[in-house]
Chains A and B, each alone.
Chain A
């Protein structure tokens, strides 16, 4: 049985040496980070109104506003401000808030734990859920198109709607959970896990549906592979087929989808945290944009980009390490 032998054989994960192959995605991630930093700086620079005009009250004269602008260092040329900013980031200095003059790093650190708990919790919920749903959708034969369409459609429901619906149901109608998630200062969200439930579910559900839609194709492709049909024909139990013949082929796309989902989750925190009054980076970003507090906006945007790019890099490295073969639809997709 040549096919079976082929499928069972331990394929080498990569042809060349690991470090050399890893250098390419690492370098790519570094370049992307530079591109993102330029994009973030440019985007925040063209927001209408700068911090000086926002901070000055209606009665202020043009001279007073100009003086304020000079005080805040906003009168220097854009390239100069970018160089200072990017240089600062490299040395770990994210600058000071234009609104209250405090170090941006402090504000970000203060809220980082809360958002980490939220995004981490949502990933723990979303990752297994998307695998199950994606598997279910991919395994559906005739109805696969319909199931995938339903998943994609449901994933398109705005997070705000999902969050309001969940709050109305679990907090309003059933009274199981608090309607807002206020954290006492300096207290870890893990100490009041009930406050995390609504934000975590609101962020995780749309993400899981979206990820399941992405995964279902890979599941369908894998199930159609000859060695799977062969294993079934030989009477291997369904659970063993799933674990031995299918799952290893899904790890690479699964890792990438999880990495992409992490980005989606970070974006979802802006809505979820604002709606539930949860003191994390997402709500900080929203209010920093409203206040034109550019250094804060830039720092959070860069942090989010860093997380997503690091996730994708990790997924690439994981995929390279675990990929059971270098050929076939998944291998070619790289």
Chain B
């Protein structure tokens, strides 16, 4: 009997709790709200925009809370934001005058000054170990504020792409904000309201200098699981799910009330060949691999057609990317090249991959099948995601990488110059390095882009990256959502003009 009364009491408690819950349901909302389910793992949530930021959800929040100096538009071209202009002071492109808007204010009412900007840039540079040396092109000790809203930035070498460098997430915080374990005040389109490490609630900043944001409130929800993000939108608990899989996009492409937003060239999984290792030290072998792949089939299978066939250009969405003819499959030519290279009897290779990102494993398996048709016997080895980036990436001689839509100059500084910190293909080419430096010292934008395009073409022809195709970034959204970003790279983060109809 005792048990029964315990059970009865338990049932009663649940009923009372449920009843209370109904009574105290929140009042109906009238403010316009955008709920954005972004890629993010709640434990990795951070309030420091300058250090290691592992969550897309955090980047979104920072982009809405803080002003950045410049932004890429939907074509990847650099546009003013907090900086109104950036002009070289001298002919050799090492001193730059940056003019800031004079109407930007932090949410505590103080104006945003050149001192705040310089402080923020220096803080970012000091945290270079955590942010890919994002601002390592600048000599910030020699840089100085030259006025209330004006500063002079010095670069270590002639650097014509300063506008692009300042678009690299230069979140401006008030001078003296050394400890950012708690949020600092910002001057962006939104101010921080409520929040925990899963969901950040942002309120529209009516004092922002820019065009009024599309919604009054923005909720950014960090969700690690892509299926859960999509489910949040299909069940009406969120308005946007960032980065869903091609399968999910196809599943909901024709669904009532939903839309799929495409961001071109957001992801690619190149095969990486190390030029310092056999057999990839032979250019004929590299070319044979590039010719043996059926790129259309790969794009069709891995990205379900949501993408473009690649021509080994590592940053195809960059404004400086060359127009190149697609690489057509030529198995006969690949066989001939292999024979010339002394591998007429066949060639055995191990291709490493992992499943950190959807489609990586499929890519390796399919590529192995295609290479086999050209006489290259490929063994696929799938490594655990936890250790792949430490034990395989930049270590093995033949593996899959995952590249986002980073700008070419940034990618080259990391991975293509001889002393680049992650020069994974062993692309050591003095002449190429000199031409890269010279391109960055070219003031004329059109000529500079031509030079950069030529550099990219040379890497495509002779380098170790097989960029067989690029996949679209796919966002799932309610069809009431308007103005979602479609551009490459960081453009995706600037959602201040996104609106919700109805």
Contact = CB atoms under 8 A, between A and B. Distances in A.
B336 interface: no
A55 B26 CA distance: 40
Contact of A193 (B3, B17, B228, B235): B17
Nearest to A285: B43
A26 interface: no
B42 A57 contact: no
Most buried by B among A171, A275, A279: A279
Contact of B387 (A48, A100, A251, A275): A48
B70 interface: no
A287 B196 CA distance: 15
B130 A56 contact: yes
Contact of A277 (B20, B179, B232): B232
Interface string B202-224: 00000000000000000101011
Interface string A269-293: 0000011110100011111101101
A276 B20 contact: no
Contact of B235 (A56, A111, A171, A284): A171
Most buried by B among A53, A59, A192, A284: A59
A64 interface: yes
B175 interface: no
Contact of B3 (A124, A247, A293): A247
A115 B390 CA distance: 34
A293 B46 CA distance: 12
A268 interface: no
A65 interface: yes
A34 interface: no
Given A64-B129, A180-B235, A191-B21, A274 B194 contact: no
Given A57-B132, A182-B221, A99 B231 contact: no
Nearest to B40: A287
Given A55-B52, A65-B129, A101 B181 contact: yes
Contacts of A49: 386-387, 390
A67 interface: yes
Contacts of B26: 187, 191
Interface string A33-61: 00000000000000011000101111111
Contact of A291 (B10, B41, B128): B41
A196 to B, nearest CB: 10
Interface string B369-401: 000000000000000001101100010000000
A185 interface: yes
Interface string A86-99: 00000000001101
Contacts, number: 175
Contacts of B182: 102
Contacts of B20: 190
Contact of B201 (A61, A185, A191, A247): A185
Interface in B1-47: 1-4, 7, 10, 14, 17-18, 20-21, 24-26, 37, 41-47
Contact of B130 (A68, A101, A171, A291): A68
A290 B196 contact: no
Nearest to A297: B43
Interface string B33-65: 000010001111111100110100000000000
A184 interface: yes
A52 B308 CA distance: 37
Interface string A210-251: 000000000000000000000000000000000100010001
A102 B183 CA distance: 11
Most buried by B among A111, A180, A286: A180
Contacts of B283: none
A182 B199 contact: yes
A128 to B, nearest CB: 6
Given A48-B387, A57-B130, A193-B17, A180 B48 contact: no
Interface in A167-194: 167, 171, 178-180, 182-187, 190-193
Band of interface residues on A: 35 or more
A190 B22 CA distance: 10
B17 A279 contact: no
A155 interface: no
B222 to A, nearest CB: 9
A279 B42 contact: yes
Contacts of A111: 196
A287 B44 contact: yes
B224 A287 contact: yes
B238 A293 contact: no
B133 interface: yes
B224 A64 contact: no
A275 B225 contact: yes
Contact of B231 (A60, A96, A179, A290): A179
B231 A180 contact: yes
Contacts of A61: 129, 421
B132 A58 contact: yes
A288 B24 CA distance: 34
B454 to A, nearest CB: 25
A180 B42 contact: no
Nearest to B54: A291
Contacts of A296: 43
A192 B10 CA distance: 19
B228 A275 contact: yes
Contacts of B228: 180, 274-277
Nearest to B390: A49
B195 interface: yes
B129 A182 contact: no
Nearest to B384: A48
A267 B133 CA distance: 40
26 contacts: A59-B128, A59-B414, A64-B128, A65-B129, A68-B130, A101-B181, A124-B10, A128-B10, A178-B237, A180-B228, A182-B221, A186-B194, A187-B26, A190-B20, A193-B18, A193-B21, A251-B3, A275-B228, A277-B37, A277-B223, A279-B198, A283-B42, A286-B43, A287-B44, A290-B43, A291-B43
Smallest CB-CB A-B distances: 10 pairs: A59-B421, A287-B43, A64-B129, A287-B41, A101-B181, A179-B231, A60-B129, A288-B43, A100-B46, A279-B198
Given A56-B52, A100-B48, A243-B4, 5 more contacts: A55-B52, A179-B234, A247-B3, A277-B232, A291-B54
Interface of A: 48-49, 53, 55-61, 64-65, 67-68, 96-97, 99-102, 107, 110-111, 121, 124, 128, 131, 167, 171, 178-180, 182-187, 190-193, 243, 247, 251, 274-277, 279, 283-288, 290-291, 293, 296
